[in-house]
Chain A
Amino acid sequence: MAELTSFSFHPGTSVLHKLDVRFKILFLILISFSSLGGGFFGLGLLSALLAGLIIHSRPPLKSGFKEFRFFLILLLLILMARMLTTPGAVLIEIKAIAITRQGVLSGLLVCWRLFIIALFGFLFILSTPSGQIKAAVEWFLRPFGFMPAKHIATMMGLIVRFIPVILNQAKETAEAQRARCLENRKNPLYRITRLAIPLIRRTFEQADRLIVAMEARCYSENRSDPDLSVSRIDWIALFILIVMSIWIMSI
């Protein structure tokens, strides 16, 4: 268990760790919208902000990218689909396949957008304990009386808590299967089935043990939530991000 997944909270003292979780959720929404609405210049600006935050907060980039590899493959597929299906000025043509300039540009734009949003999400998970996410969700849902805020927040908190557990189980199961030469089987369906069945069983068993342990420590939906407090740094960050978003969207 010593080598845990990077998709979980990492304690630290960076600005990201100090920001109020409610503001961080707002920032994520703002960044997502400006990323979706912005062009190359806006994405460059967001990338610069992202680079600054990465340098400052020093996340475990190496292991992070390792776990991002499937997402990167997805981005590559999106890029290829865009390159091959968007009409425009042909750059390269091999038989019936044509790669267009517009396709390359639009593919790069979409991939860059998704990559930026994913990386900001990664930084959010890294710098925010799941207890705080739960408390923030509950705070946001409080005005909507018809929604079971505590219930939804508890479920979200547990999901966030379980992502690293599931990823860890997947890793261990895959390693155990590689040790028994599963790689010699070329049929991907066979390999996926062989991985999925024990993974689901082990995840449920682990969930079961965790539930018993939580119950033994009096777990309920009504518990003391962490203190959420807003400081000057949150307002300054919000101001900067609003200005930045307006600028990106208006270009």
Chain B
Amino acid sequence: MDIIEIKNLSHRFSDGTLGLDQINLRIEAGAFVVLAGPNGCGKTTLIRHLNGLLRPTAGCVKVAGVPVQKDPMRARRLVGMMFQDADSQIVGETVYADVAFGPENLRLDQEQIRKRVADALEVVGLTKFADQRPHLLSGGEKRRLSIAGILAMEPKVVVCDEPFTSLDYPGVKQVLKQILALHQTGHTIVVITHDLEKVLAHCDRLIIMQKGKIVRDGLPAEIVADIETFGVRAPCAAQLGMEVRSWLN
């Protein structure tokens, strides 16, 4: 079953620039998809249509069979989004309050909120930081907090926009582990990156965008060979003709 269906999606910004040009895409439930491309190719614009943060100029986006435009709140509940800048995603004054932000917006009662927050913090291993101020967490912990905030809303799809930006090696490993754990528990994962090195070994589909269009879509091993033509650096191992290894090994 396709959890995300995009048909002829185009988006034109208010200044007239064409951000997305006739995108057609289907993502199966439980898939692990990496969306890559150079800066300004339309990756972030595309994913912001998945939960109604942007409205299409033309075309249609469906999440679990229902058009996003018809019920954006449902789409936002089903598609959790981790933004590039973890700091700007933090809205709570404590770790607990930040994770509770989503469930509070869903108007759950306090008992349910407490349970969801406790579960989400346990999954990402931040339970002991519940009363701490989120801005004092490390980069990797902030990303995990973003994931907890998403998990508390019980989404089906988790979209991560450049999840490894400005993280050190342990931070990358922490976040990668978390993303893989989510995939193993049945979540559909969409990772946006222009740095394939860290995630390519784990994904089962690679999509390349250029100038608002999808120019490649398929198995990573098949696509990675000519990827540099589209302004995306191929992982070192792929350049040497070797198998791309996981950062977790």
Binding site for B on A (CB under 8 A): 1-2, 4, 8-11, 129-131, 161, 206, 209-210, 212-220, 222-227
Contact = CB atoms under 8 A, between A and B. Distances in A.
A4 B110 CA distance: 29
B149 A11 contact: no
Given A11-B94, A212-B53, A217-B149, A224 B104 contact: yes
Contact of B133 (A10, A213, A224): A10
Contacts of A224: 103-110, 113
A11 B108 CA distance: 24
B135 A1 contact: yes
Contacts of A215: 53, 76
25 contacts: A2-B135, A2-B136, A4-B133, A9-B94, A129-B97, A161-B93, A209-B83, A209-B85, A210-B88, A210-B91, A212-B48, A213-B88, A213-B89, A214-B101, A215-B53, A218-B102, A218-B105, A219-B101, A220-B105, A223-B105, A224-B106, A224-B107, A224-B108, A224-B109, A227-B110
Nearest to A1: B135
Contacts of A4: 133, 135-136
Of B73, B76, B105, most buried by chain A (CB within 10 Å of CB) is B105
Interface residues of B, number: 37
Contacts of A216: 51, 53, 76, 80-81, 83
B101 A217 contact: yes
Contacts of A213: 83, 88-89, 91
Contacts of B109: 224
A145 B234 CA distance: 62
B230 to A, nearest CB: 27
Nearest to A214: B91
Contacts of B106: 218, 224
Contacts of B83: 209, 212-213, 216
Contacts of B104: 131, 223-225
Nearest to B146: A213
Interface in B55-79: 73, 76-77
Given A212-B83, A216-B81, A129 B135 contact: no
A129 B83 CA distance: 24
Interface string B93-128: 110010001111111111001000000000000000
Of A1, A8, A206, A226, most buried by chain B (CB within 10 Å of CB) is A1
A161 B107 CA distance: 21
Contacts of A11: 93-94, 131-133
B231 to A, nearest CB: 25
Of A129, A161, A213, A222, most buried by chain B (CB within 10 Å of CB) is A213
Nearest to A158: B91
Contacts of B77: 218
Given A216-B80, A217-B91, A226-B110, 5 more contacts: A2-B135, A213-B89, A218-B102, A219-B101, A223-B105
Contacts of B103: 224
B222 interface: no
